[in-house]
């Protein structure tokens, strides 16, 4: 799987100012977000959960080759099983989960698993987060707008509160396509909302996008 803008945005935007000691990456894929969070933190221990065999091989290789290999731990399992068997709690949980639940299945089965939520429903994701998130912990997730509009009601009904979100559109004047949202256990009056466009024109990135991801791209 290629490095995607969704994962880069999630890994770069997710706040770490509360200095998380334990981090969980749900559906790590090739390990991109976990690696980015390792780069952005000093001593955080990061668990990464992935159910796909081939993705686990990629993530394991990437973790071992990184400067943070001593802080990255890969778990070849589902979030559901991990949440049942793991007694730990996490200061930060992140997920770039399966999405496009209502669209046509990709004929490539591995991509279908990665891109559709048949193996990890919104309910399963919220349930796992509630079992594993510490009292003061934060949960960040990126979703297509349509999925976000469904997810936010399920999360709120389960006792999570949206503290902030970033709305992402591909170009100025285009509608929002992705939403990154942060959730906590404590009630908030209203989330802080920001919006960015990714490109001004083809391969010409906006200052807002550059400001978020500049620490991870060699050049624009």
The verdict on residue 169 lying in a domain is yes
Nearest Cα to Cα of residue 115 among 29, 9, 13, 205: 29
Which pLDDT score, from 0 to 100, does residue 117 have? Answer: 40
**146, part of any domain:** yes
pLDDT lower than 70: segments of the chain? 1-2, 98-119, 219-220
Number of neighbouring beta carbons within 10 Å of residue 180: 25
Q: Are strands 133-144 and 178-184 parallel, antiparallel or unpaired?
A: antiparallel
pLDDT digits (tens, 9 = 90+) for 63-83: 999 999 999 999 999 999 999
* Domain contains 145: yes
pTM metric for this prediction: 0.90
Is the residue at 104 inside a domain? yes
- What is the pLDDT at residue 3? 76
Within a domain: 91: yes
Domain assignment of residue 220, yes or no: no
Domain-located, residue 219 = no
CATH of the domain at 161: 3.40.50.150
Residue 10 forms part of a structural domain: yes
Domain range for 112: 5-213
Nearest residue to 89 (alpha-carbon basis) of 154, 20, 188, 28: 20
The domain tally of the chain equals 1
Give Rg (Cα) of the chain.
16
Q: Where are the beta strands (DSSP E) in the chain?
A: 22-26, 45-50, 72-76, 90-95, 133-144, 161-169, 178-184, 192-197, 199-201, 204-205
């Amino acid at each position: 799987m290629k490095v995607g803008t969704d994962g880069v945005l999630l890994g770069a935007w997710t706040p770490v100012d509360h200095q998380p000691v334990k981090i969980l990456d749900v559906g790590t894929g090739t390990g991109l977000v976990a690696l980015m969070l390792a780069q952005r933190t000093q001593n955080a221990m990061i668990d990464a959960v992935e159910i796909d065999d081939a993705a686990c091989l990629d993530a394991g290789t990437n973790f071992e080759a990184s400067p943070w290999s001593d802080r990255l731990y890969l778990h070849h399992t589902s979030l559901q099983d991990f949440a049942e068997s793991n007694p730990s709690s996490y200061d930060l949980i992140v997920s770039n989960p399966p999405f496009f639940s209502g669209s046509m299945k990709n004929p490539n089965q591995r991509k279908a698993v990665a891109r559709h939520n048949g193996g990890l429903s919104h309910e399963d994701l919220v349930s796992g987060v509630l079992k594993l998130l510490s009292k003061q912990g934060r949960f960040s997730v990126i979703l297509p707008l349509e999925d976000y509009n469904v997810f936010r009601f399920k999360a709120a009904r389960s006792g999570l509160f949206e503290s902030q979100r970033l709305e992402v559109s591909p170009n100025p004047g285009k509608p929002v396509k992705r939403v990154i949202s942060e959730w906590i256990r404590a009630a908030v009056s209203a989330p802080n909302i920001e919006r960015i466009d990714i490109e001004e024109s083809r391969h010409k990135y906006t200052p807002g996008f550059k400001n978020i991801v500049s620490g991870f791209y060699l050049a624009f």
